[in-house]
Amino acid sequence: MPRATVSAGGRLHVGFQNLSLAHRRLYGGLGVGLEEPRVTVVADPAADISVAGSAGSLVREYATRAVEVLGVPGVSIRVETRLPRHVGLGSGTQLALSVLAATARAHGRSPNVRLQAPAMGRGGRSGVGVATFEAGGFVVDAGHPTNRFTTDPPTEGEWTVPPVVARHHLPEEWRFLVVVPAAEPGRNGEDEDASMRTVIERANPAVADEIACTVTRKLLPAVAAGRLEPFGEAIAEIGRKNGIWYTDTQGGVYRPPAGVLVETLTECPVLSGVGQSSWGPAVYGVTDHAHAEETREAAEEALLEHGLEGDVIVTKAATDGAKINV
């Protein structure tokens, strides 16, 4: 049996289209796949499950699930590179699906990540991470029927990943600035479930109506035409409107310290679409190749200005999905 290597880029999550139970569909994620940073997983067929090095219990959990889903004897997993966890770059989904795909290919099988993601515990709210793993691009998903997705999350595995209703590959010259300040991780697990339940119980349905107008009248036309500034204006607006839903839960439209970085970077004249990815603390913006270094410098200065340490990444949007080599 062959050795399989799977490498997948992180993703930005701009926000949801609806968090109110008053509308017929809940969630509906919007986001974009990134070329960098990446998670890389190497898998060898094995008679049982082993995880090399200090990959941790989470990798073993995903490997165990993958073996059960695929019905194979076992797998030996090594994680060569990892996405930073719980910062808003989709580390959990990209790791889980990379382990699944690598395990499948190590046993000579072709994974169906969309079908199998729920059994890996992924895709229960947003379908953006699964969609970008599949084919990259800027993605809008359809969300879930509200009558099935109430304030309580569904039983694990008993959902289907939301279908993609729009996918566009962004212009090659566009660049995404990603700033990850050294801060407390974003919400995850049971803490995230509890926070989302609170948000959904209180969500104003009028905000969803405003977001729908922004998506159809501003965002999608800008993406289809490849117009950077209107695209940036639209995703920034969607991010702010999502923040209205989260204000009580995260302590503001943006969670600290993302808020001060968003405020500072919004003043950068060559950067558009500044916002917070998922629960943060990662902050993003969009520019073009000619101004990439200028935006990097602006981000480094913003971290310094606010007494923060952190990482600054400038990357392209992903034009394809995870890279699989056997």
Q: Report the CATH number that the domain containing residue 41 is assigned in CATH.
A: 3.30.230.10
Please report which residue ranges of 107-204 form alpha helices under DSSP H.
Answer: 113-116, 128-135, 189-202
Q: What is the mean pLDDT of residues 106-127?
A: 94
What is the domain range of residue 153?
Answer: 4-325
- Span 223-248, average pLDDT: 97
Report whether pLDDT(188) > 60.
no
Contacts 24+ apart (CB under 8 A), 268-271: 268/294, 268/295, 268/298, 270/294, 270/295, 271/177, 271/232, 271/295, 271/298
pLDDT score recorded for residue 171? 98
> Nearest CA to 169 among 209, 215, 138?
138
- Going 53 to 185 to 298 to 13, the CA torsion angle's sign is positive
Q: Does residue 159 register a pLDDT over 90? A: no
Residue 162 has a pLDDT of 95
pLDDT of residue 56: 79
Could you tell me the pLDDT band of residue 176, with boundaries at 50, 70 and 90?
A: very high
Predicted TM-score (pTM) of the model is 0.94
Can you tell me the distance from the alpha carbon of 104 to that of 81, in angstroms, rounded to the nearest whole number? 19
Tell me what the pLDDT averaged over the chain comes to.
Answer: 94
Model confidence at 153, pLDDT cuts 50, 70, 90, reads low
Determine if the peptide bond prior to 45 is cis (ω within 30°).
no
Q: 208 with 23: CB under 8 angstroms?
A: yes
Beta strands in 249-315 (DSSP E): 272-276, 283-288, 310-315
Count structural domains, the chain: 1
CA dist list (Å): 199 to 3, 149, 192, 194, 219: 44, 14, 10, 9, 24
Cβ neighbours, 10 Å, residue 163: 11
